[in-house]
Structure 1
Amino acid sequence: MRNASIIISLVSASLVIAGCASTEYSNTSKGAAIGAVVGAVAGKATGNHKDKRLVIGAAVGALAGAAVGSYMDKQEKALNQELSGSGVKVVRDGDKLRLDIPAQLTFDVNRSDIKSSLFPVFNDIAKVLRDYPKTMLVIAGHTDDTGPYQYNMNLSQQRADSVKQYLIAQNVQAIRVETEGYGPNYPIVPNTSDANRTQNRRVEIHIEPVVE
């Protein structure tokens, strides 16, 4: 009963807060790099957050069995429809989704505030996330390897936090959202050219179903 009380308290507090408120590479190597970063971020949203899953499940409900795949199918379709032509990629990995958002579209150089031209895109993302609340989100910021390491770590975290705050302002429940700044640690291609560095500067939104 004590755990249930704690969960209910956390849910209540979260709902109150929510209411107030980026050389050529072989396909094999590139796939391994992408897998590494996806695995790292996915790990943050899985086994380490059992208690948080319980809280989210208590707040917005949870999925079970065949309902999981169908729920994520519908959410993937909705995201593809809303984000068509936006430059944001919707990637499916089993029952998880990932939105790849190029940083150059979203932020000015060395800035962490979202460009106003991208507000409609994030509004569309928020709309789908509100329509499919039985998911938890990890927003991951990434940079290239130019500049001081700690500066890039801080910038990637600030950009992830900016995306989180924008989504919360669009009524995506705060309890569902976490952020992580990875700096230059997980490039999807080697930082050996301007074109490659552009690909590595990105923000990813990892979307995972809350399962019973």
Structure 2
Amino acid sequence: MRVIVATAITGALLVGACTTDPYTGQQKISNTAGGAAIGAGLGALGGMLVGGDDRRNALIGAGIGALAGGAAGAYMDRQEAELRAQLQGTGVSVSRMGDRIVLNMPSNITFATDQDAVMPGFYGTLNAVALVLKKYNQTIVDVNGHTDSQGSDAYNYGLSQRRASSVADYLSAQGVDGRRFAVNGYGETQPIASNASEAGRAQNRRVEIYLTPIT
């Protein structure tokens, strides 16, 4: 899996391995989250001590405080409510797994067939997403592209990667901190419906955004 991560160095070298294992289920479960309380005042040293995710390290090192315990759940509750309000009627679904928020963007409203440029008609929806992401900056953002099983594995992987990159690039251009992003292309490897029907293939062609609190 290819992961594109922008990192920052603030007073110290931040070293870590970034791994992404996104969930695809739609069930909403408990909003309780663990995690240590790490304040913004810890600076770069605090970022180095947090763990293995480069993005978390960089953001905490840059002065963005981490969320502790139940505060993460409440923070994500508020963000989820605002996203649901902003995205109502757009075709983008908002779901929840614990303290993670998942935005599912079907390709039929996001991209033209076999294209990787965001359709102008979708700009307003992404603008609304960007507004919420900027307000709730204590999250990291995984943008994951997926395709159906039509075509070769290599083609589908490349298309999914380019589409995810286009969404992340657009959000960054609207002022969302690029250090928060990882961009992943999964091709046809993570279907959420059967590829035996056109209806199922349409569900599989999507970009998903996962929002995870910095804890």
* Structure-1-length-normalised TM-score: 0.78
- Identify the structure with the greater helix proportion: 1
Map 1:29-40 → 2, pairs under 5 A: 34-35=24-25
1:54 aligned residue: 57
Q: Given the superposition, is the C-alpha separation of residues 156 and 89 from structure 1 closer, same or farther in structure 2, using an over 3 Å criterion? A: same
Partner-residue secondary structure (3-state), 2:148 = coil
Q: Given the superposition, is the C-alpha separation of residues 177 and 34 from structure 1 closer, same or farther in structure 2, using an over 3 Å criterion? A: closer
Q: Given the superposition, is the C-alpha separation of residues 48 and 203 from structure 1 closer, same or farther in structure 2, using an over 3 Å criterion? A: farther
Map 1:1-212 → 2, pairs under 5 A: 7-8=9-10, 34-35=24-25, 49-59=52-62, 60-211=64-215
CA–CA distance in 2 between the matches of 1:192 and 1:175? 39
Structure 2, unaligned runs of 5 or more: 1-7, 14-22, 26-49
CA–CA distance in 2 between the matches of 1:118 and 1:163? 10
CA–CA distance in 1 between the matches of 2:12 and 2:152? 38
How far apart are residue 53 of structure 1 and its match? Answer: 1.2
How far apart are residue 52 of structure 1 and its match? Answer: 2.7
Partner-residue secondary structure (3-state), 2:91 = coil
How far apart are residue 57 of structure 1 and its match? Answer: 1.8
Partner-residue secondary structure (3-state), 1:198 = helix
Q: Given the superposition, is the C-alpha separation of residues 193 and 10 from structure 1 closer, same or farther in structure 2, using an over 3 Å criterion? A: farther
**CA deviation string 1:127-147 (max 9, x = no partner):** 000000000011000000001
Q: Given the superposition, is the C-alpha separation of residues 48 and 118 from structure 1 closer, same or farther in structure 2, using an over 3 Å criterion? A: farther
Q: How many pairs align?
A: 175
How far apart are residue 209 of structure 1 and its match? Answer: 0.2
1:38 aligned residue: none
Q: Residues 7 and 54 of structure 1 are in contact (CA less than 8 Å); yes or no, is this contact kept in structure 2? A: no
CA–CA distance in 2 between the matches of 1:173 and 1:126? 10
CA–CA distance in 1 between the matches of 2:190 and 2:81? 28
Partner AA of 2:189 in structure 1:
N
Partner AA of 2:81 in structure 1:
K
Structure 1, unaligned runs of 5 or more: 1-5, 12-32, 36-46
Q: Residues 144 and 207 of structure 2 are in contact (CA less than 8 Å); yes or no, is this contact kept in structure 1? A: yes
Higher RCO, 1 or 2 (CA under 8 Å, sep at least 6)? 1
RMSD: 2.1
Divergent runs of 4+, >3 A: none
